[in-house]
Amino acid sequence: MSDLDKIVSLCKRRGFIFPSSEIYGGLSAVYDYGPLGVELKRNVRESWWQEMVYRHDNIEGVDAAILMHPTTWKASGHVDAFSDPLIDDKASGMRYRADQLIEGHIARLTKKGKDADAERVQQALVAALHADDMNQALYDLIIAEEIRAPDSGAFDWTEVRQFNLMFDTHIGPIHNAENKIYLRPETAQGIFVNFLNVQQTSRQQIPFGIAQIGKAFRNEIVARQFIFRMREFEQMEMQYFVKPGAQMDAYADWKEKRLAWHQSLGIPAHKLRFHEHEKLAHYADAAVDIQYEFGIGWQEVEGIHSRTDFDLGNHQEFAGKKLEYFDPQAQERYVPYVVETSVGLDRTILMLLSEAYREEEVSGAKRTVMRFHPKVAPIKAAVFPLVKRDGMPDIARAIEQDLRLHFNAFYDEKGSVGKRYRRMDEAGTPFGITVDGDTLEDGTVTVRDRDSLEQVRIPKDNVVRFIEDRMRSWTPPED
Ligand code: ATP
């Protein structure tokens, strides 16, 4: 089983993530979060919001609707250009993204130690992505490199053509072209169209940012690798509005801040890196990805883009309404430039699941443990009575109730203590509190640390403070 398969299996078994509408066989690349997954997701969302909105007095939040006026997507360029290069394997009918087929080929060359070939194809890919006829150039490269279809092994391709990734639907009872609208493919546009509403009501002055967390929808051509590439997913985006000319400083600043946030979730520095874009979107003057080293290789979790005045400028033109900022100090008006930070919530969850997953041997027995940073762990502490008598369950219940006033806690009296620990290890619960015979005598309990397995005895009344201190000082354990 690959590492990813093991994570998928644990997610299902323990209630982190289920396939959507599973009783009907699931829906491709759509997933539901179960009881543990929803807690993990809430904690990550909360951490992002705190970092972006509460720690910056010049960042405001919004929650825009998923459905937007259809002209939004003309102005943003999505109707014309939000597409991926699609190619079909004639033998199997399977569809692939042409650029990803080539990237896979490069990865295989690198794996085989053919670094010079990998570099040559990489350069050819960059050239193809910049070519006037990108579709033809990608096709030619696939043919020249004799890249075969990953599933059938055939070498029988259609031409490359562009496929628009937006889901559409109709608003109101009449299904005609005028009533066609889209499910938003990114949350950013809900921020741009509200730029003046937010600026004027919050009385922010430039530079300032607007943050949003919400669902986005993309009809991805190839959706695989679990929640890495989904058709319905959640984004956490922040658009930072600056004076034209100030964008590069803001860009450099946000790059560092965003990298630090990923580390604050317990991701070690050596598993994160910046990756410059091979091809800048026509409106961007700088763009970088933050990548995490997944089991499947280095992959993007977040994009940081300097988008100039492209979006606000276009909305101004399409809507026929000024979206200018008046600078009271300089007494001048201008359309601000924008630096955006855009991170996938689900992809962050996959990063955390991948980083946390460990199989270990503890005193001769195997255990699977999810070593989440305690601040994102779905359950912070579990309380166990050693046995179901002598008043131990009542004391344990009382501790659990007290803990629940502060964070998510869990009570378990079923099975041996060892088994209860194992269940909590799989859920990623950092602290296990056991009420035993000594508790009856002197009011102390044992607290077991999920990572070090160290057990300490502390007075039961100090459990909350002890856990809060440990959560604050937690660092990722060495392997
Ligand atoms: P990719 O190149 O992987 O398709 P992208 O560059 O189009 O991604 P952006 O439009 O920059 O991605 O979106 C910002 C973030 O949203 C990404 O870094 C990723 O974390 C997340 N994201 C984008 N598409 C998906 C998807 N289909 N499923 C899950 N998360 C996604």
SS (H, E, C) 227-248: HHCCCEEEEEEEEEEECCCCHH
Residue whose CA is closest, atom 4 of ligand 1? 229
Is the pLDDT reported for residue 224 higher than 80?
Answer: no
* Average of per-residue pLDDT across 298-322: 96
Expressed in angstroms and rounded, the spacing between residue 344 Cα and the centre of ligand 1 is 6
If pLDDT is split at 50, 70 and 90, which confidence band does 438 have? Answer: very high
* Structure confidence at residue 143 (pLDDT): 96
Are 287 and 306 within 8 A, CB to CB? yes
Which residues of 89-179 form beta strands (DSSP E)?
95-97, 161-164, 168-170
Q: Give CA–CA dist 466/459, Å, rounded.
A: 10
Q: What number of other Cβ atoms are within 10 A of residue 245's Cβ? A: 9
Which residues belong to CATH 3.30.930.10 in the chain?
Answer: 3-68+169-352
Is the pLDDT reported for residue 19 higher than 90?
Answer: yes
Mean pLDDT across the chain, nearest whole number? 95
Is the pLDDT reported for residue 479 higher than 80?
Answer: no
If pLDDT is split at 50, 70 and 90, which confidence band does 282 have? Answer: confident
Regarding the beta carbon of 380 and ligand 1, being less than 6 Å apart is answered no
Residue whose CA is closest, atom 22 of ligand 1? 344
Q: Which CATH architecture best describes the domain 3-68+169-352?
A: 2-Layer Sandwich (3.30)
Q: Give CA–CA dist 403/413, Å, rounded.
A: 17
3-class secondary structure, 68: coil
If pLDDT is split at 50, 70 and 90, which confidence band does 222 have? Answer: confident
Is the pLDDT reported for residue 279 higher than 90?
Answer: no
Q: Under 8 Å CB-to-CB from 287, ≥6 apart: which residues?
A: 276, 277, 280, 281, 303, 304, 305, 306
Expressed in angstroms and rounded, the spacing between residue 270 Cα and the centre of ligand 1 is 22
Q: Quick one: 148 exposed, middle or buried, by C-beta within 10 A (0-12, 13-18, 19+)?
A: middle
* Structure confidence at residue 365 (pLDDT): 87
Expressed in angstroms and rounded, the spacing between residue 7 Cα and the centre of ligand 1 is 21
CATH number belonging to domain 83-164? 3.30.40.230
Residue whose CA is closest, atom 6 of ligand 1? 303
Whole-angstrom CA distances from 448 to 42, 300, 400 are 25, 35, 15
* Structure confidence at residue 223 (pLDDT): 76
* Average of per-residue pLDDT across 296-320: 95
Which residues belong to CATH 3.30.40.230 in the chain?
Answer: 83-164
Q: Which of 189-193, 283-287, 411-415 has the lowest mean pLDDT?
A: 283-287
Supply φ then ψ for residue 456, to 5 degrees: -125, 150
Is the pLDDT reported for residue 278 higher than 80?
Answer: no
* Average of per-residue pLDDT across 466-474: 93
Is the pLDDT reported for residue 345 higher than 80?
Answer: yes
Long-range contacts of 435-440 (CB under 8 A, 24+ apart): 435/383, 435/384, 435/385, 435/386, 435/392, 435/395, 435/396, 435/399, 435/460, 436/386, 436/392, 437/386, 437/390, 439/392, 439/395, 440/390, 440/391, 440/392, 440/395
Regarding the beta carbon of 342 and ligand 1, being less than 6 Å apart is answered yes
Sheet holding 431-435, edge to edge: 409-411, 381-385, 431-435, 444-449, 455-459
Regarding the beta carbon of 300 and ligand 1, being less than 6 Å apart is answered yes
* Structure confidence at residue 411 (pLDDT): 97
CATH number belonging to domain 379-473? 3.40.50.800
Q: What is the pLDDT of residues 142-195, one digit of tens each?
A: 999 999 999 899 999 999 999 999 999 999 988 888 899 999 999 999 999 999
Are 380 and 403 within 8 A, CB to CB? yes
Regarding the beta carbon of 232 and ligand 1, being less than 6 Å apart is answered no
Residue whose CA is closest, atom 12 of ligand 1? 303
* Structure confidence at residue 394 (pLDDT): 96
* Average of per-residue pLDDT across 451-457: 94
Question: Which tokens in the block code for residue 211?
Answer: 């943050």
* Average of per-residue pLDDT across 5-33: 96
* Structure confidence at residue 277 (pLDDT): 82
* Structure confidence at residue 280 (pLDDT): 82
* Average of per-residue pLDDT across 373-387: 97
Q: Which of 41, 99, 235 to mutate to test the pocket of ligand 1 (most atoms within 8 A of CB)?
A: 235
* Structure confidence at residue 477 (pLDDT): 81
Which residues belong to CATH 3.40.50.800 in the chain?
Answer: 379-473
Question: Which tokens in the block code for residue 193?
Answer: 């169209």
Supply φ then ψ for residue 128, to 5 degrees: -65, -40
pTM over 0.75: yes
Q: Give CA–CA dist 411/397, Å, rounded.
A: 7
* Structure confidence at residue 152 (pLDDT): 93
Is the pLDDT reported for residue 81 higher than 90?
Answer: no
* Average of per-residue pLDDT across 292-314: 95
Expressed in angstroms and rounded, the spacing between residue 220 Cα and the centre of ligand 1 is 10
Pairing of strands 357-362, 365-370: antiparallel
Are 237 and 191 within 8 A, CB to CB? yes
